[in-house]
A and B are shown apart, each in its own frame.
Chain A
Amino acid sequence: MAEQHPSHESGGIGWQPLARSVFLTTFLGAVIVVGTVLFYIFAGGEDLIARLIPANSSFAGDIDFVILVIAGIVGFWFFASLFAFFVLLYQSRRRPGHKPEYLAKHDHQLHTWVSWPHWLVIACDLIIIIVAVKVWHQVKQVAPPADTVIRVVAQQWGWTFRHPGTDNKLDTVDDIVTIDRLHVPLDQVVHFELQSKDVMHDFSVPVFRLKQDAVPGRTIKGWFKPVKAGAFDIQCAEMCGIGHGLMPARIFVETPEQHAAFLEDSARNASVPGGQSIY
């Protein structure tokens, strides 16, 4: 059974030719992947994510950019290692006459194989951290000055929205309170105060890339600036009991005229909030 493998010199192991070929193919594959991703990012590929789900708020584009940067870096490493994995599987399959090598300890080439991907992974991680923290700071920690402020109160299985009304100030007589229907003006910075009456809920508008948990007992502030008119879904993104999947709400981004019309006719029959049909 112990036939001698022809290329197995007793001394150095045949690294060079094999390593070079595998290294070349991996590098080539990686270049192709990174090239396509960069092409998408800079040649108008900005809406790669937007093609799956529209980006209708001011910071949606930035969050999509973070996702694309991570996709590019992580995609490179994923395809590189998967490619190397399948090449090695094919190349080292069990063939008569092919004898596996025995790697002695502390082989110099062995360390180069591991160390250069090691440092590259750390470098990529740093890039990802910087990009992610920058966007996080911009979206969650600081907010541009508010054009209007609304109060969103989540409760078991419904959303209550308190619009400031014509005087644009909250907690005044002319506030408009609606259930499950939020009306916001287009292209204006909207600050929201998020509260919950009973359990954990989550105010999430996927098309705005907006998501913030409503913690009972806390008031959490956030902001968004819609850039596209229309009606979009509001989903609850934190388990809140039986009605968690049954409490959708709609956000209506209205042009100034539509918003004025909404304010005016809500003021007219402001006596009772009056819910709309849920179908």
Chain B
Amino acid sequence: MALHSITAHGMPELQGHHDVHHEEHWFLKYCWSTDHKMIAKQYLVTGLLMALIGGFFAYVFRWQLAFPNQPVPFFGVVTPASYNMMITQHGTIMIFYVAMPVLLAAFGNYLIPLMVGADDMVFPRLNRASYQVFLISSVILIWSFFVPGGGFGGAWTAYPPLSAGSQYNLTPSGSTLWVVAVAVEFVAFLMGGINFIVTAMNARAPGMKFVDVPLAVWMIVIASVMFMMSVGPLIAGSVMLVMDQNFGTHFFDPRTGGDPVLWQHLFWFFGHPEVYVVLLPALGFLAEILPVFSRKKLFGYRTLLYSSIGTACLSFFVWAHHQFISGIDPRMANVFAATTVLISIPIAEIMFVFIATLYRSSIQFTVPMLWALSFVAEFLVGGVTGIFLGASGADIHFHDTYFVLAHFHYTFFPIAIIGSFAGLTYWFPKMFGRHLNEGLGRVHFWITIISFNFIWMPLFFTGIMGDHRRIYSFANFPDLMTPDRILLREISSVATAVMGIAQVLFFANFFWSMYKGRKAEDNPYNANTLEWRCPSPPPHGNFAVMPTVYRSPYEYNHPDREVDFWPQDEPPAGQGELRPEGAH
């Protein structure tokens, strides 16, 4: 191993295999690159663009719900068909084309090689192929909006016979393209998932035991395993659905012996593990950010790890709580109610660990820390309201009302939006070598958080008061047109517009700071994990000298060290056991 001398402020001087960086054609560098960092940025940019589309749909149909049948600024009249298409595509885009790519693929691709001390993903070409398959899938989805009949409008859960019969959904090619786009996206994430798991398991730096792996990597690996184990039936289900739609088969056609409830089971068998697949990476980012800005060791590394593995396993037993009143046998509902309420325990465990990490620490309210703390606060509301829906008795009233929407937006918003903002603001200096503008970040944070709460708190109450979801306009329901309900809906819609506009601040800050922001050092936050041990932005081969790991990533304020952080790859000064080469 190349000898490296300790320079003045404790950073090993960089020597070793710096291959000369020849300038490539921009296409090879940006679109055809096998460098995990470039592929991560490709996923990130695609995810953010899709978030714009999903967000715009949200603004439009939220406006239509508050001011029925009036033309929506920047869109025009919202017809029932375009309303259904927008809510369906909003759900599909936000889960499959924003949360999964940004949280799982963008950060997974960027962080796993850096955090385990490798120079790239184990299969670079497969990694590039997985992004390209994902790109094809998002192109197919966008294309499905413009085919005759328009985009698919039968809700993102695509229950047959509405999704199977084009005489019912009136979007003959739109519905098939939607199913094909989602199935191709699953293939992309199977390829990506295998890459994440194998890299995290095999390409770990010498000396990095399983307990030294940062939790962000662990969480993405558990999420990929869960995705791999749960997506199979839905791939088979989508093949059956496409055959039902186009080739006249009768898998889900009730008139000839098919069974629509079978699709619901296949969909939600994947659906519920899927929401934990996007939750775990966000928890992983929190496990990285909270200790750094509270300068304190994470409360329970093994507690967090075992309870997320527990959540992963339990998440396979709970799926039918989405179907309590949709035709399954009522006796089954009791089983799923019990497992659903019990799954709140490991998640409560994880929240206790995050809160306990803050105990007796020294919290520094930087923008990433603000996002991380707001994640904990908002996710508590989301997690807590889930129990109402998991308990079968209460779900009779709450199923498919705005209470359900408010619940899963209080979980999805912290996961997809707050989680990725936390990750982006925290790792931006490493990704682009420059700092984001701190003041702008704070303004964007406060406007987004306040407007988010103003969107969804009122809708909890409209949900209890009987507003059902996916209803085009409440003007047709006399009981729902009372002045208080109308006011609550208008507050929520205006807050959606405010939040939409506030995102301009983020995009401006993001793209402006990429070139004009303050230069960032290699380790601006004095963090321990390996990605801060290489220059920012890291060159092609990441580490000049491949690091060796000596300790866990959360050794902050260790009593017998004067500096309050202890990087993973810093050899212990004399005392402490020296880990032999290749220990695993």
Direct contact of A and B (CB under 8 A): yes
User: Which residue of B has the minimal Cβ distance to A200?
Assistant: B159
Cβ B388 vs Cβ A67 within 8 A: yes
23 contacts between A and B (CB under 8 A): A10-B559, A85-B373, A88-B355, A93-B363, A94-B362, A100-B295, A103-B296, A117-B348, A132-B391, A136-B333, A137-B334, A198-B165, A202-B326, A204-B468, A210-B396, A213-B325, A217-B259, A238-B159, A238-B326, A239-B84, A241-B153, A241-B168, A244-B80
User: In this complex, which of A13, A70, A122, A202 has the most chain B Cβ atoms within 10 angstroms of its Cβ?
Assistant: A70
A227 contacts the other chain (CB 8 A)? no
A43 at the interface (CB under 8 A from B): no
Q: Which 8 A-B pairs have the closest CB atoms?
A: A217-B254, A245-B472, A206-B466, A132-B391, A135-B393, A132-B393, A215-B327, A239-B155
User: Does A114 have its Cβ within 8 Å of any Cβ on chain B?
Assistant: yes
In the complex, how many angstroms separate the beta carbon of B210 from the nearest chain A beta carbon?
16
Q: How far is the CA of A227 from the CA of B329 in the complex (A)?
A: 28
Q: Which of A182-190, A229-237, A257-265 contacts B (4 or more CB under 8 A)?
A: A229-237
Measured CB to CB, the closest approach of chain A to B381, in angstroms, equals 7
Measured CA separation A125–B353 after assembly (Å):
19
Say which one of A27-35, A73-81, A144-152, A161-169 lies at the interface with B. Answer: A73-81
Residues of chain B within 8 A of A52, CB atoms compared? 461, 464-465
- When distances are taken between beta carbons in the complex, the residues of chain A under 8 Å from B294 are 92, 100
Partner among B360, B385, B387, B476 whose Cβ is within 8 Å of the Cβ of A100: B360
Give the residue name and chain of the A residue nearest to B358 (CB). Answer: A88
Of the candidates A140, A199, A213, A233, the one whose C-beta lies within 8 Å of that of B477 is A233
| CB closest residue in chain A, given B560 | A102
Q: Is the CB of B471 within 8 A of A114?
A: no
Chain B hits for A133, CB < 8 A: 334, 337-338, 392-393
CB atoms of B154 and A241 under 8 A apart: yes
Residue of B nearest to A237 (CB): B400
Q: How far is the CB of A154 from chain B (nearest CB, A)?
A: 12
Contacts of A217 in B (CB 8 A): 254-255, 258-260
**Is the beta-carbon distance between B387 and A70 smaller than 8 angstroms?**
yes
The yes or no answer to B394 lying at the interface (CB within 8 A) is yes
Q: When chains A and B are docked, how far (Å) is the Cα of A154 from the Cα of B215?
A: 50
Q: In the assembly, what is the distance between CA of A101 and CA of B297, in Å?
A: 9
Complex-state Cα separation, A263 to B145, whole angstroms: 50
Write the B162-192 contact mask toward A (1 if CB under 8 angstroms, else 0): 1001001110000000000000000000000
Please determine whether B562 and A199 come into contact, CB atoms closer than 8 angstroms: no
Q: Which residues of A contact B295 (CB under 8 A)?
A: 94, 100
The reply to whether B393 and A139 contact each other, CB–CB distance below 8 Å, is yes
Contact call A207/B391, Cβ cutoff below 8 A: no
- Bound together, the chains give a CA A54 to CA B475 distance in angstroms of 20
Q: Hey, which chain B residues are within 8 Å of A1, CB to CB?
A: 562-564
B113: chain A residues at CB < 8 Å are none
A200 shortest CB reach to chain B, Å = 5
Contact check, A246 vs B168: say whether CB atoms are below 8 A apart: no
Assembled-state Cα–Cα distance A218/B465 (Å): 30
> Which residue, A10, A94, A131, A218, has most C-beta atoms of chain B within 10 A?
A94
B-chain residues with CB within 8 Å of residue A71 when the two chains form the complex: 388
A85 touches which of B376, B400, B562 (Cβ 8 Å): B376
What is the bound-complex CA distance between A141 and B294, given in angstroms? 52
Whether, in the assembled complex, B365 has its beta carbon less than 8 Å from a beta carbon of chain A, the answer is yes
CB-based contact B387/A202 at 8 Å: no
Contact of A136 among B157, B330, B359 (CB under 8 A): B330
Residues 95-126 of A, flagged 1 when their CB comes within 8 A of B and 0 if not, give: 10011111100000010011001100110010
Q: Does B409 contact A (CB under 8 A)?
A: no
Bound together, the chains give a CA A194 to CA B400 distance in angstroms of 18
Contacting pair B334 A242 (CB below 8 A): no
Chain B contact-residue range equals: 35 or more
Expressed in whole angstroms, the minimum distance between the Cβ of B219 and any Cβ of chain A is: 20
Which of B255, B331, B362 has a CB less than 8 Å from the CB of A92? B362
Q: Which residue of B lies closest to A22 (CB)?
A: B359
Does B464 contact A49, Cβ atoms closer than 8 Å? yes
- Tell me, yes or no, whether B342 is within 8 Å of chain A by CB: yes
Contact status A216-B337, CB under 8 Å: no
Interface pair A248/B477, CB less than 8 Å apart: yes
Contact between chains at A199 and B396 (CB < 8 Å): no
- In the assembled complex, the CB of A172 is this many whole angstroms from the nearest CB of chain B, namely 27
Q: Give the A-B contact count at a CB cut-off of 8 A.
A: 278
Interface: A176 (CB within 8 A):
no
User: Residues of A contacting B438 with CB < 8 Å?
Assistant: none
A-to-B contact residues, CB < 8 Å: 1-2, 10, 13, 18, 49, 52-53, 62-63, 66-67, 70-71, 74-75, 77-78, 81-82, 84-85, 88-89, 92-95, 98-103, 110, 113-114, 117-118, 121-122, 125, 128-129, 131-137, 139-141, 156, 198-200, 202, 204, 206-207, 209-213, 215-218, 220, 232-233, 235-246, 248
Contacts of B327 in A (CB 8 A): 213, 215, 218, 220
Please give, as numbers and ranges, the residues of chain A lying within 8 Å of B388 by CB-CB distance.
Answer: 67, 70-71, 74
In the complex the two chains form, what is the Cα distance from A61 to B297 in whole Å? 49
B394 neighbours in A (Cβ, 8 Å) = 63, 66-67, 70, 132
Contact among B344, B359, B363 for A125, CB-based, below 8 A = B344
- Shortest C-beta distance, B376 to chain A (Å), equals 6
With most chain B CB atoms within 10 A of its CB, the pick from A137, A237, A245 is A245
Whether A232 contacts B557 in the complex (CB less than 8 A), given A92-B361, A136-B333, comes out as no
A93 vs B362: C-alpha distance when bound (angstroms):
5
Residue contact B373 to A129, C-beta cutoff 8 Å: no
Given contacts A92-B361, A136-B333, 19 further A-B contacts (CB under 8 A): A1-B562, A49-B464, A81-B355, A94-B295, A99-B557, A101-B296, A132-B391, A133-B337, A136-B337, A156-B168, A204-B400, A211-B325, A213-B327, A215-B254, A239-B154, A240-B162, A244-B470, A246-B80, A248-B476
Supposing A18-B360, A199-B165 touch, asked if A206 and B396 sit within 8 A by C-beta, the answer is no
Q: In the assembled complex, which residues on chain B have CB atoms less than 8 Å from the CB atom of A140?
A: 325, 330, 333, 392, 396
Residue contact A245 to B476, C-beta cutoff 8 Å: yes
Q: Verify if B345 is at the interface (C-beta below 8 Å from A).
A: yes
A103 to B338, CA, bound (A): 36
User: B272 within 8 Å of A by Cβ?
Assistant: no
A114 touches B356 (CB 8 A): yes
In the bound complex, what is the Cα–Cα distance between A200 and B162 (angstroms)? Answer: 7
Which residues from chain A contact B567 at a C-beta distance below 8 Å? Answer: none
B576 at the interface (CB under 8 A from A): no
B13 at the interface (CB under 8 A from A): no
Residues of A within 8 Å of B168, CB to CB, are 156, 198-199, 241
Return A3 CB to nearest CB of chain B, in Å: 10
**CA of A237 to CA of B396, assembled, Å:** 11
**Chain A residues near B159 (CB, 8 Å)?**
199-200, 238-239
Q: Is B143 on the interface with A (CB-CB < 8 A)?
A: no
A237 and B355 CA atoms in complex are apart in Å by 38
Residues of B within 8 A of A102 (CB): 296-297, 556-559
Contact A136 B334 (CB under 8 A): yes
The residues of B that contact A110 with a CB separation of less than 8 Å are 299-300
A206-B159 Cα distance, complex, nearest whole Å: 23
Q: Closest residue to A234 on the B side, CB-wise?
A: B477
